[in-house]
């Protein structure tokens, strides 16, 4: 319940503080392509292998700027990672803890129960390292952006040279799917940037799909359970309605 409340607040905060300007402000409507993820539709499920690769990309690339405060390392078990793998991943970071018996703060290796470590100690440090821009927390970014995973995939693959007649402001980058088409974040992914243990080619499209899958899972880890429960409830209500109708016919069979 507490985790759900935190997620709801984070979504609201992301929408208010970090929501991009409406596309209508630029006098056009931006059409986000349908990427067709495995989790689309009422029977869709997460591609665990893709989500694991997405986490690897987040850890090696995105985590340099973006935090995920609502996730703990132990949550990665839901992606199919073993306890040993999760413990090893957590131990690669240093977490500030304390105070100790001498009243001093200290650093220790991360534990599975720790939240994902933030790349910056505070928002001011994050802005200072990014030319005044505050990188949004990615915990629920797939729910905080209209279009969800489709928008994230489009954004990551939408960088390019501006068309003729379009001037990009200093420090900005052209992206055909970002409202206004000018975004402060430089292209974060490039082909061959990450090496996957399963042999998957690290093309821009593959990496963007994997990151979008991971971020969708992070924002909605209970999606599969909720859908399964919904299907069970519909089946139960269907059977119940059939029984109720049969009983009604039986009771009123001899009525004139």
169 assigned ligand-binding residue: no
Question: Any residues with CB less than 8 A from the CB of 224 and at least 6 apart, and which?
Answer: 39, 45, 46
Burial 91-122 (b: 16+ CB within 10 A, else e): eebeeeeeeeeeeeeeeeebbbebbbbbebee
Tell whether residue 62 is among the known ligand binding residues.
Answer: yes
Q: Is the peptide bond before 254 cis (omega within 30 degrees of 0)?
A: no
Instruction: State how far the Cα of 95 lies from the Cα of 84, in Å rounded to an integer.
Output: 19
Residues 158/177, Cβ–Cβ less than 8 Å: yes
Angle between helices 48-60 and 204-219 (to 10 degrees): 100
207 is in an annotated binding site: no
Nearest to 95 by CA among 84, 103, 85, 106: 106
Cα 15 to chain center, whole Å?
14
The answer to whether 46 and 38 have CB atoms below 8 angstroms apart is yes
> Is 181 labeled as ligand-binding?
no
Say how many CA atoms lie within 13 Å of 238 toward its Cβ. Answer: 6
The annotated binding site is made up of 62, 65-66, 185
The annotated binding site for heme c is made up of 62, 65-66, 185
């Amino acid at each position: 319940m507490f985790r759900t409340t935190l997620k709801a607040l984070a979504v609201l905060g992301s929408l208010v503080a970090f929501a991009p300007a409406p596309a209508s402000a630029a006098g056009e409507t931006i059409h986000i392509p349908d990427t067709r993820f495995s989790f689309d539709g009422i029977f869709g499920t997460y591609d665990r292998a893709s989500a694991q690769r997405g986490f690897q990309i987040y850890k090696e690339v995105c985590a340099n700027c973006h935090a995920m405060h609502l996730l703990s390392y132990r949550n990665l078990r839901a992606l199919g990672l073993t306890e040993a793998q999760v413990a090893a991943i957590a131990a690669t970071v240093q977490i500030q803890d304390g105070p100790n018996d001498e009243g001093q703060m200290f650093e220790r290796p991360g534990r599975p129960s720790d939240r994902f470590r933030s790349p910056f100690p505070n928002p001011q440090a994050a802005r200072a390292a990014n030319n005044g821009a505050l990188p949004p927390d990615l915990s629920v970014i797939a729910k905080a952006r209209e279009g969800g995973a489709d928008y994230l995939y489009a954004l990551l693959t939408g960088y390019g040279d501006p068309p003729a007649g379009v001037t990009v402001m200093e420090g900005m980058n052209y992206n055909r799917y970002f409202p206004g088409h000018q975004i402060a974040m430089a292209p974060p992914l490039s082909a061959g940037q990450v090496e996957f243990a399963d042999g998957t080619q690290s093309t821009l499209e593959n990496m963007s799909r994997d990151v979008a899958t991971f971020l969708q899972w992070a924002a909605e880890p209970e999606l599969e359970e909720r859908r399964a429960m919904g299907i069970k409830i519909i089946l139960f209500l269907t059977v119940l309605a059939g029984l109720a109708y049969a009983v009604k016919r039986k009771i009123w069979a001899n009525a004139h």
